[in-house]
């Protein structure tokens, strides 16, 4: 499939999924009611304040946050897989998820919920600095050392989080902590949208322009250097931007698995390995997938909700297995 055609399909799918998602929930709305509510907020004719509040204050920020998080994780996954030359790499490779989880759990237990995004981002940032510092101390920022350092830091932060949860979490706080650890955008409002959008603008958009450099990395460090790329500096920059993007997204959504791992592979099978097409298409695919997954999470067992990370794992794990089998069949 040509990249242009796939991009058009994914763009239309994103619009459709967002539109349908706005109509679904505890209070079912028609597309006409949704459109009227959006138009009213933009200065058009007034509508029922309840409908306007449901659409604009509850559903829209949640859906936009899911789209931004999915798009960002798709981009970060492509970058991590390319820079480390590891097809199993995902955006959480450098311990981001575990570090963010520790920061989030700490403030949730302290009752400082309003500091949740800040604490999660700080935890993710500390984990990244520790992982990159450890990789450098091992003799340089090579793909294998980066992966090993990330695994070590991730395991340590996960152990700290598990200890805190086991020792301190009781009663009602357990459900709140578990929901965040499994990944959820249920509480997203417009401030969370601004955080996710800011992370994507600051780190995601620059990464979308790195297709040529990522193509060079696919042939190894020597080939990349022969093409005029400063390999150590570029790898630091790529990993730093991917970490900044992922940390900002995790701070508002928790750890949502498989988006940044599976979707780059799925898109790669359709359009090939060229990163100039792979990066934006993975962003679109991530946005579509996560909006759809979140819609299922809040409607499948209505009035109860599942954390969206449960849906992405239930769908992502078998899909990833199928992709691996198809890739093996091709070879």
At 83-137, the pLDDT tens digits run 988 888 888 888 888 898 898 888 888 877 788 888 888 998 899 899 988 988 8
Max avg pLDDT among 133-142, 198-207, 244-253: 198-207
Average pLDDT over residues 161-169: 84
Angle separating helix axes 143-168 and 172-182, nearest 10 degrees? 170
DSSP for 34-58, please give it: HHHHHHHHTTSS---HHHHIIIIII
Non-local (6+) Cβ contacts of 205 within 8 A are none
pTM of the model: 0.91
How far, in Å, CA of 307 to CA of 15, rounded?
23
Distance between CA atoms of residues 233 and 292, nearest Å? 38
pLDDT of residue 285: 97
Across 195-207, average pLDDT: 95
**CATH 1.10.3470.10, applies to 3-330:** yes
Residue 181, pLDDT score: 85
Quick check: 29 and 22 in contact, CB under 8 A?
A: yes
CA distance 309 to 306: 8
Q: How confident is the model at residue 61 (pLDDT cuts 50, 70, 90)?
A: very high
CB atoms within 10 A of CB 290: 32
How high is the pLDDT of residue 331?
Answer: 55
Most confident range, picked from 56-60, 289-293, 327-331: 289-293
* Residues 36, 108: Cα–Cα separation, whole Å: 38
Q: What percentage of residues in the chain have a pLDDT greater than 70?
A: 98
Tokens representing 270 are 């359709």
Would you list the domain boundaries of the chain? 3-330
Q: Rg (Cα) of the chain, in Å, rounded? A: 20
Give residue 69's pLDDT band: very low, low, confident or very high (50, 70, 90). Answer: very high
């Amino acid at each position: 499939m040509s990249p242009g055609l796939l991009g058009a399909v994914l763009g239309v799918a994103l619009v459709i999924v967002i539109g349908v998602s706005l109509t679904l929930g505890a209070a079912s709305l028609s597309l006409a009611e949704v459109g009227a509510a959006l138009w009213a907020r933009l200065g058009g004719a007034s509508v029922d304040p309840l409908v306007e509040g449901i659409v604009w204050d509850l559903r829209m920020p949640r859906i936009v946050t899911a789209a931004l998080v999915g798009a960002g994780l798709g981009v970060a996954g492509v970058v991590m897989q390319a820079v480390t030359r590891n097809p199993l790499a995902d955006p959480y490779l450098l311990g981001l998820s575990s570090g963010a989880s520790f920061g989030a759990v700490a403030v949730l237990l302290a009752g400082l919920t309003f500091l949740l995004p800040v604490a999660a981002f700080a935890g993710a940032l500390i984990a990244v600095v520790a992982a990159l510092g450890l990789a450098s101390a091992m003799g340089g920022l090579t793909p294998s050392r980066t992966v090993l350092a990330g695994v070590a830091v991730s395991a340590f932060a996960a152990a700290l989080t598990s200890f805190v949860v086991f020792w301190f979490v009781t009663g009602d706080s357990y459900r709140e902590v578990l929901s965040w650890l499994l990944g959820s955008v249920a509480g997203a409002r417009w401030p969370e949208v601004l955080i996710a959008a800011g992370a994507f603008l600051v780190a995601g958009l620059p990464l979308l322009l790195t297709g040529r450099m990522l193509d060079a990395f696919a042939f190894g460090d020597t080939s990349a250097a022969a093409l005029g790329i400063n390999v150590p500096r570029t790898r630091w920059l790529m990993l730093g931007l991917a970490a900044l993007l992922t940390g900002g997204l995790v701070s508002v959504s928790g750890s949502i698995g498989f988006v940044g791992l599976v979707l780059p592979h799925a898109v790669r099978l359709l359009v090939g390995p060229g990163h100039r097409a792979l990066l934006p298409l993975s962003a679109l695919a991530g946005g579509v997938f996560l909006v759809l997954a979140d819609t299922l999470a809040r409607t499948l067992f209505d009035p109860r909700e599942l954390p969206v990370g449960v849906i992405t794992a239930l769908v992502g794990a078998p899909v990833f297995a199928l992709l691996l089998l198809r890739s093996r069949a091709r070879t």
